[in-house]
Amino acid sequence: MAKNSNNNALAAPAPSFWRDPEKRAIVYQALVLAFMAWLLYSIVNNTATNMESRGLASGFGFLTSSAGFGIISTPFVPYTEDSSYFTVFLVGLVNTIIIAFVGCVLALLLGFIVGIARLSSNWLVQKIATFYIELFRNVPLLLQILFWYSAVLKPLPGPRELHEAGEAVFFSINNRGLIFAEPVGQEGFQYVWYAFFAAIVVSWLIRKWANARQMQTGQQFPTFLVGLGLIIGAPLLTYLFMGRPLEFVPAEMSRFALRGGVTVIPEFVALLLALVIYTAAFIAEIVRAGIQSVSHGQTEAASALGVKPSHRMRLVVVPQAMRVIVPPLTSQFLNLTKNSSLATAIAYPDLFSVFAGTTLNQTGQAVEIMAMTLAVYLTLSLLTSAFMNWYNSRIKLVER
Amino acid sequence: MAINDNANPQGVVHDGNLPDKPAPMATEGAVAWMRDNLFNGPFNSILSVLALALVLYVLPGMLSWLIFNANWTGGAEACRVNPDGACWPFVSSRWEQFLYGFYEKSERWRIDILLIILAIGIAWLVIERLPGRTFAAILMLFVYPVFAFFMLYGNEKMGLPIVETSQWGGFTLTLVIALSGIVASLPLGVLLALGRRSKMPIISLLSTVFIEFWRGIPLVAVLFMATIMFPLFLPAGVTFDQLLRAVIGVALFSSAYMAEVVRGGLQAIPKGQYEGAMALGLPFGKMMRLIILPQALKIVIPGIVNTFIGLFKDTTLVLIIALFDLLGVVQASIADPNWSIRSVPYTGYAFVAIVFWVCCYSMARYSRYIEDKLHTGHKR
């Protein structure tokens, strides 16, 4: 008994309700939650009232009705003016994914080249890279898109000024875009594809074998060169052996326009150029910072061990730099994907332009259309992040 | 035997002179510099020649178009005669519109005053020798925006006629959107960053969802929502100005980015600082205000400036929702039939590019300078 009362006297008095952080936290969170619920309720309520008073029907029924407008570029998705709004959505989605994917790959390539040039020991190359970076990343992207589109590509001469009627055109750049001959595989061309895939599998096996051998014996094997030779050489040899089963069908100049061939519309070219050049300037700075972040001790230690300069870069510096490069690179890819929505300024038929633009204007279904559009961008962002996180976890430093 | 190195323990003895050694390779002067920096090795030599060819191909044409062969005086007629150079009279005849938009001519002095105060305020914040920079920061962040609003919009009681926001435009509008975006996003961003790091699960979850939502969608979508969806969300009868809606959208958008910048700063503060503050018995608010945030915000100044640069460039997107910022006004002027000359669109774009470049580049330099000042050590 006595012991008990003693304990009670020593224990701190229970804090009053407001002085207990845990109870206070519950109150704060309850308040925030209540506020959010009220906000959400009033937004939903207001939207419903407003839509009713404007005579707007809600729901996704509009997706099945016919769109009735043409789209200048509809790769992979069959589309006519009678197609439904849902097909419009798919067309826009495909176009957005194409520009984002091609843009990311090219921006990465250009960015790496410029970033390494920025660190070159060659004074002139280094200055040109610096000039490139400082020029393009400090000018708004929209301005660059408008510049490439309306100041560079649109004033190009038309096909009628460049080609005579009946002419077979293998390659042409004019104000209708980039037009080149269409490669058509003939009988037996599938073997070239088989050879290509077989070469990839074989070089992967060689790499496994070479790694295992190096682990055991320390002998090295030129995996990269052999693999490259296989992947390029095997399809090429098959191609020649099969009697070149690939024909280039040229576009033909009719009286007014070029028919046939493969056309890349100028909107795509302008948007791609602007996105790639703009984003590459940022990627170049990321690459430079990443390479510089590897401390001098690492390169010096590698030199002291007698590792030759090319291996020093490939085996010591780059793997460590990648850990610094990948996270900001991810956000640049995300930025490029999101910035592709600027297509709406030059009417490239991406998701934003055809769906959140034209379709929204025609149907007035603002809530549904914006929800679908935002969901797509959020999903693309999540997918890109997920992929880059997976890659990052593969290359990151293995610690204890 | 001139040299006897076995029998004579005293050392090496020569009789007569040794032949002259060749002169050392020059290590100074233009030739040596070129050898070291341009032609050290066959690969670099080839690269240098290619790079030089690129420079010679691009630079003369660019300089000639921009400066030497450009039209500096005269009007549209002079540009029509010489279409192979920039048409600067197009800019000089319309610079007032580019700067003030469609703001009433008699009221433009109000913008002038605001710009002068802005310039003084920025100089005060940037030049480190000046006293009272914290005071200046508070003044520019909290007092100036309110003052600027009354000056721009007007107030009958203060004797300033009202100028509707539909008349605002040009570079003024660019500044209004960018500055109000950044001023609003700073406190919001700090709150969101604290919320995301909070131990309260609901608050941390809500902050994270908010931040990731705005970071995951394009700014064009935000502006579209601000124009199309925002009126739907409000009770019937309540309307907001188009510009205000855009500014709210921009502020919410950039607050998400700001939150991530601030969170980086909060994470960089060593744990001992938090623990020290708690050991002194400081409550959360005081700990943040007196110990953590002053240090965290100081190290994220470069990040804040970079966010601002991004925001500043992104203000051009309001063109898409039919607000006329600098790019919008120039774009509209290009379409003027009196100036339908081949060189005018290029001149207009070049002018906008130069304005944005000068602003963004100087801010980037400042951010780099702060970064270098904060980042000491490990340098060679």
Q: Which of B223, B232, B260 to mutate to test the interface with A (most CBs of A within 10 A)?
A: B232
Per-residue model confidence (pLDDT) at position A11: 63
Q: Once rounded to an integer, what is the mean pLDDT over residues B204-212? A: 91
Q: Look at B10 and A88; give whichever has higher pLDDT.
A: A88
Q: Residue A72 contacts by C-beta under 8 Å, 6 or more apart in sequence?
A: A265, A267, A349
Per-residue model confidence (pLDDT) at position B342: 84
Q: Which of B217, B222, B284, B341 to mutate to test the interface with A (most CBs of A within 10 A)?
A: B217
Q: Do A150 and B345 touch (CB under 8 A)?
A: yes
The alpha-carbon gap from B221 to the nearest alpha carbon of chain A, in Å, equals 8
Specify whether the CB–CB gap between A370 and B221 falls below 8 A.
yes
Q: Once rounded to an integer, what is the mean pLDDT over residues B43-56? A: 89
pLDDT in tens, B309-321: 999 999 999 988 8
Please indicate if any CB of chain B lies within 8 Å of the CB of A57. Answer: no
Neighbours of A370 (CB within 10 A): 20
A contacts of B199 (beta carbons < 8 Å): 25
- Sign (positive/negative) of CA torsion B93, B95, B96, B102? positive
Q: Do B216 and A295 touch (CB under 8 A)?
A: no
In the block, residue with structure tokens 């100005």: B241
Please indicate if any CB of chain A lies within 8 Å of the CB of B216. Answer: yes
Per-residue model confidence (pLDDT) at position A398: 63
Per-residue model confidence (pLDDT) at position A132: 95
The alpha-carbon gap from A154 to the nearest alpha carbon of chain B, in Å, equals 12
The alpha-carbon gap from B311 to the nearest alpha carbon of chain A, in Å, equals 10
How many residues comprise chain B?
380
Specify whether the CB–CB gap between A122 and B38 falls below 8 A.
yes
Selecting from A143, A360, A381 the residue whose C-beta is nearest the C-beta of B353 gives A143
Task: Show the CA angle centred on residue A160, arms to residues A158 and A162, nearest 5°.
Answer: 75
Give the residue from chain A lying closest to B320, CA to CA.
A345
Q: What are the Cα distances from residue A85, in Å, to A60, A64, A97?
A: 10, 6, 18
Please indicate if any CB of chain A lies within 8 Å of the CB of B346. Answer: yes
pLDDT in tens, B18-32: 888 877 766 667 788
DSSP-assigned letters across all residues of B324-362: -BHHHHHHHHHT-GGG--THHHHHHHHHHHHHHHHHHHH
The alpha-carbon gap from A353 to the nearest alpha carbon of chain B, in Å, equals 10
Q: Is B155 helix (H, G, I), strand (E, B) or coil?
A: strand
φ and ψ of B325, to 5 deg: -80, -170
Burial class (CB in 10 A: 0-12, 13-18, 19+), B199: exposed
pLDDT in tens, B90-101: 888 888 889 998
Percent of chain B with pLDDT strictly greater than 90: 34
CA distance between the termini of chain A: 52
Range list of H helices, chain A: 2-10, 21-53, 85-118, 123-137, 141-146, 159-162, 190-217, 223-241, 266-293, 296-304, 309-311, 318-339, 351, 360-363, 366-395
**Calpha distance B262→B293 (Å, rounded):** 9
Per-residue model confidence (pLDDT) at position A179: 83
Selecting from A32, A142, A151 the residue whose C-beta is nearest the C-beta of B346 gives A151
Q: Residue B89 contacts by C-beta under 8 Å, 6 or more apart in sequence?
A: B71, B72, B73, B74, B75, B76, B78, B79
Low-confidence ranges of chain A (pLDDT < 50): 1-3, 5
Specify whether the CB–CB gap between A175 and A158 falls below 8 A.
yes
pLDDT in tens, B246-261: 999 999 999 999 999 9
pTM exceeds 0.90: no
Q: Which domains does chain B have, with CATH numbers?
A: 25-60 (no CATH), 89-103+163-372 (1.10.3720.10)
Per-residue model confidence (pLDDT) at position B41: 78
**Calpha distance B369→B379 (Å, rounded):** 15
The alpha-carbon gap from B283 to the nearest alpha carbon of chain A, in Å, equals 10
The alpha-carbon gap from B128 to the nearest alpha carbon of chain A, in Å, equals 25
Name the residue among A80, A56, A45, A53 with its Cα closest to residue A66.
A80
Name the residue among A15, A46, A269 with its Cα closest to residue A148.
A269
**Calpha distance A89→A86 (Å, rounded):** 5
Confidence bin at B1 (pLDDT 50/70/90): very low
Q: Is B14 helix (H, G, I), strand (E, B) or coil?
A: coil
How many residues comprise chain A?
400
Strands A171-174 and A177-180: antiparallel
What is the rounded (10 degree) CA torsion for B258, B259, B261, B267? 160
Q: Residue A90 contacts by C-beta under 8 Å, 6 or more apart in sequence?
A: A77
Chain A residues 366-395 within an 8 A CB cutoff of chain B: 366-367, 370, 373-374, 377-378, 381-382
Selecting from A32, A47, A378 the residue whose C-beta is nearest the C-beta of B203 gives A32
A contacts of B231 (beta carbons < 8 Å): 50
Burial class (CB in 10 A: 0-12, 13-18, 19+), B211: buried
Full strand arrangement of the beta sheet holding A171-174? A171-174, A177-180, A262-264
Please indicate if any CB of chain B lies within 8 Å of the CB of A360. Answer: yes
B contacts of A151 (beta carbons < 8 Å): 345-346, 349
Within chain B, what is the greatest distance between any pair of CA atoms?
114
Per-residue model confidence (pLDDT) at position A24: 84
Per-residue model confidence (pLDDT) at position A33: 92
Q: Do B319 and A374 touch (CB under 8 A)?
A: no
Amino acid sitting at position A294: V
Radius of gyration, alpha carbons of chain A? 30
Per-residue model confidence (pLDDT) at position B25: 67
Using the predicted structure, report yes or no on whether residue B66 has a pLDDT greater than 70.
yes
**Calpha distance A209→A231 (Å, rounded):** 17
Please indicate if any CB of chain B lies within 8 Å of the CB of A120. Answer: yes
Please indicate if any CB of chain B lies within 8 Å of the CB of A293. Answer: no
**Calpha distance B215→B204 (Å, rounded):** 16
Structure tokens at A83: 């197609």
Please indicate if any CB of chain A lies within 8 Å of the CB of B102. Answer: no
Please indicate if any CB of chain A lies within 8 Å of the CB of B121. Answer: no
Q: What are the Cα distances from residue B367, in Å, to A364, B149, B364?
A: 44, 28, 5
Please indicate if any CB of chain B lies within 8 Å of the CB of A32. Answer: yes
**Calpha distance A365→A356 (Å, rounded):** 10
